Amino acid sequence: MAKKLKVTLVRSTIDRQRTQKETVRGLGLRRLHHSVVLEDTPAVRGMIRKVQHLVTVEPVE
């Protein structure tokens, strides 16, 4: 079974660089405290690392 990650937006994207805003939207996050469950792939991990100061990540079984 593929591992999944629950990603939650906990800090606002106001006054952030455009690329960070686009990365948050690319992860599927729309508003504060919005969570999405994503496959644990290298691409998703890279996106999370880019905005790690704005999100929290939890493993999901």
Read off the pLDDT of residues 8-57 as tens digits, 9 standing for 90 and up: 999 999 999 999 999 999 999 999 999 999 999 999 999 999 999 999 99
More confident residue, 48 or 1: 48
Residue 36 parent element (H or E)? strand 35-39
Element holding 47 (H helix, E strand): helix 42-50
> Across-strand partners of 37?
6
Q: What's the pLDDT score for residue 46?
A: 98
Q: Whole-angstrom Cα distance, residue 16 to residue 54?
A: 10
Q: Which domains does the chain have, with CATH numbers?
A: 4-60 (3.30.1390.20)
1 pLDDT higher than 80: no
Handedness of CA 42, 44, 47, 49 (dihedral sign): negative
